[in-house]
Amino acid sequence: MNRLAGKVALVTGAGRGIGAAIARAFVAEGAAVVLAELEGATAQATAREIAAQHDAAKVLAVPTDVTQAASVRAAVDEAARAFGPVDVLVNNAGINVFADPLTMTDDDWRRCFAVDLDGVWNGCRAVLPGMVERGAGSIVNIASTHAFQIIPGCFPYPVAKHGVLGLTRALGIEYAPRNVRVNAIAPGYIETQLTRDWWDSQPDPKAARLETLALSPMKRIGRPEEVAMTAVFLASDEAPFINASCITIDGGRTALYHD
């Protein structure tokens, strides 16, 4: 249980859902973790819970808005003051913006890109100078299966997530000579508030959930902890030659062809 011993990690959007599971798994594996989250109270509560289960000296909640570059830089600085330079960044914060392209407002478009793509870049830009200087670092971007597949009615979320994959590959190549690895994880349906809110937004939420299950080859929804396991692997020294890659975690859902 010490696969991340001595490492300092910053996880965005770590107050709940996948980000909280990643923060919990990282601390369990020996990392010191900053939970960089928009909702301060949620982040504090999650940090207290992780501290009680694991090591209180290795968890810190820092209110952060990933859409603001200065806010992300401040969180990285706070991580450095508390624990040391950031070795691992997980760009996890994200929101669903699902609209009809032609009736969508400009605000919807900007809100989606501000969080889902600019937020990832703001994170990368804040940690890369230090990682490049030290000649070591791992960045894990939480993309989505929407990064390479399209479900009608979900615009512009997949456009931003395609961008996250492009950013991952581009930065992975740029900084590979400096031993900084940049990878992505593409989760399918994972049981979080984000997904529950989506089912609840459908005319028949129960039927929507059953339809998701019916199309799942494993006949179940994924768990946040199952994404966290892969984030631990990519963040650790067990993946030294994995770079500019994307690991899909969807129980085989995107391999399934259906009408």
Ligand X SMILES: NC(=O)c1ccc[n+]([C@@H]2O[C@H](COP(=O)([O-])OP(=O)(O)OC[C@H]3O[C@@H](n4cnc5c(N)ncnc54)[C@H](O)[C@@H]3O)[C@@H](O)[C@H]2O)c1
Q: Which residues bind ligand X (CB under 6 A)?
A: 12-13, 15-19, 37-39, 42, 64-67, 92-95, 115, 119, 142, 144, 187, 189-190, 192-195
How far is residue 209's CA from residue 221's CA, in Å, rounded to a whole number?
9
How far is residue 216's CA from residue 116's CA, in Å, rounded to a whole number?
25
User: Please, which residue, 137 or 251, has the CB nearer to ligand X?
Assistant: 251
Shortest Cβ 2–ligand X spacing (Å): 26
How far is residue 11's CA from residue 29's CA, in Å, rounded to a whole number?
14
Burial group, residue 256, by CB count within 10 angstroms (0-12, 13-18, 19+): exposed
How far is residue 219's CA from residue 9's CA, in Å, rounded to a whole number?
33
Closest CA to 187 of 111, 256, 250: 250
Residue 105 contacts residue 147 (beta carbons within 8 Å)? no
Q: What DSSP character marks residue 245?
A: -
User: Please, which residue, 136 or 216, has the CB nearer to ligand X?
Assistant: 216
Closest CA to 183 of 250, 242, 248: 242
Residue 157: active-site member: yes
Burial group, residue 104, by CB count within 10 angstroms (0-12, 13-18, 19+): middle
Shortest Cβ 110–ligand X spacing (Å): 13
Shortest Cβ 217–ligand X spacing (Å): 16
Shortest Cβ 142–ligand X spacing (Å): 4
For the chain, the straight-line distance linking the first and the last C-alpha, in angstroms and rounded, comes to 44
Shortest Cβ 215–ligand X spacing (Å): 13
Q: What DSSP character marks residue 236?
A: S
Residues with a known catalytic role: 157
